[in-house]
């Protein structure tokens, strides 16, 4: 079967958008945001973050309602200088107290506060792995004054994803979900996928792979297992024979790990 014929439309659309854990996180973020905004517009008043007249600092009503209704962790961070400090949370620390007063990581701060992006990833929450999302809080002037956080246990998210994979038969969806599954497992993180009609080549750009993270910069390509894994996902989903190779690698000094998937001769 020619990868460039009936399967080409599937390849053009291939992405990791079908990520059930992200759908859950987006729903939780929407609930958290909506419940706060019911009080009014966010602002900083008297060194405290507030929605309308509702002061968020040390007020746990809304975050507790998220855990009760959605089963998720929720936190509000306030921007203080060049830091973001947790001021309201339903996360309970090892000491049995709410984890207020702690700082957000610099990676998340740069993505959400500096760049104004919604950040998705994984994090250790009181010794348990969670899939998480962080969203900027903006005042009426569009200035970022804080961050909304939600998280759901990674084990539960992966369970939902595996259940859906079993139920699905569409090759495009199976491929997307397999990519999402391995991304969630931490094997790699996809930045983008591109299809070249002329060369019948799928190019997959990854932020990193488990190999590049393990080896570091060693001056050569190291992601042979990931190349085989990506090719195997495509073969299994589409029923075609392909070959995968790494053309750029972070361990060689490149910005990202880049792979090409092409038809393989019988």
Residue 157 confidence (pLDDT): 61
C-alpha distances (whole Å) from 147 to each of 41, 111, 150, 155, 174 are 14, 11, 10, 25, 34
Tokens at 91, concatenated: 């996360």
The position carrying tokens 């009181």 is 126
What domains sit in the chain, N to C, each tagged with a CATH number?
8-18+157-263 (3.30.1380), 20-152 (3.30.450.20)
pLDDT digits (tens, 9 = 90+) for 166-176: 555 556 666 76
Across 88-97, 177-186, 191-200, 237-246, least confident range: 177-186
For helices 20-37 and 154-167, angle between their N-to-C axes, nearest 10 degrees: 130
Split at pLDDT 50, 70, 90, the class of 15 is very low
Beta-bridged to residue 103, according to DSSP, are: 85
Tokens matching residue 59: 């007020």
Would you state the pLDDT for residue 41?
Answer: 96
Q: Is 112 a residue whose pLDDT tops 50? A: yes
Find the mean pLDDT for residues 59-69. 94
Q: pLDDT per residue over 152-162, tens digit each?
A: 887 766 666 55
* DSSP string of the chain, one letter each residue: --TTTTTHHHHHH--S---HHHHHHHHHHHHHHHHHHTT--EEEETTEEEETTEE-TT--HHHHHHHHHH--EEEEEEEETTEEEEEEE--B-TTSSB-TTPBPPHHHHIIIIIS---EEEEEEETTEEEEEEEEEEE-TTS-EEEEEEEEEEHHHHHHHHHHHHHH---HHHHHHHHHHHHHHHTSEEEEEEEEETTTTEEEEEEEEEHHHHHH-S-SS---HHHHHHHHHHHHHHH---EEEEEEE-GGGT-SSEEEEEEE---
The string over 102-128, giving b where at least 16 C-beta atoms fall within 10 Å of a residue's C-beta and e elsewhere, is eebeeebbebbbeeeeebbbbbebeee
Q: How large a percentage of the chain has pLDDT more than 90?
A: 46
Backbone angles phi, psi at 81, to 5 degrees: 65, -125
């Amino acid at each position: 079967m020619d990868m460039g014929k009936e399967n080409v439309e599937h390849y053009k659309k291939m992405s990791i958008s079908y990520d059930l854990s992200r759908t859950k996180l987006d729903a939780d973020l929407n609930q958290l945001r909506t419940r706060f905004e019911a009080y009014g517009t966010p602002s900083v008043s008297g060194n405290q973050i507030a929605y309308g007249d509702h002061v968020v600092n040390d007020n746990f009503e809304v975050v507790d309602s998220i855990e009760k209704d959605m089963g998720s962790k929720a936190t509000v961070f306030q921007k203080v200088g060049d830091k973001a400090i947790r001021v309201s949370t339903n996360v309970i620390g090892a000491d049995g107290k709410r984890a207020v007063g702690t700082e957000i990581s610099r990676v998340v701060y740069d993505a959400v506060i500096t760049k104004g992006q919604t950040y998705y990833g994984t994090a250790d929450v009181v010794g348990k792995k969670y899939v998480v999302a962080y969203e900027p809080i903006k005042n009426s002037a569009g200035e970022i004054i804080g961050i909304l956080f939600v998280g759901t246990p990674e084990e539960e998210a992966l369970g939902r994803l595996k259940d859906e994979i079993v139920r699905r038969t569409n090759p495009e969806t199976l491929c997307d979900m397999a990519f999402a599954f391995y991304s969630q497992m931490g094997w790699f993180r996809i930045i983008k996928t591109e299809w070249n009609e002329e060369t019948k080549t799928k190019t997959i750009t990854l932020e990193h792979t488990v190999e590049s993270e393990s080896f570091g910069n060693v001056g050569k390509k190291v992601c042979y297992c990931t190349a085989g894994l990506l090719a195997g996902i495509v073969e299994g989903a589409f029923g075609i024979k392909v070959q995968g190779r790494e053309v750029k690698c972070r361990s060689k000094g490149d910005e990202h790990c880049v792979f090409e998937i092409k038809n393989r001769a019988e």
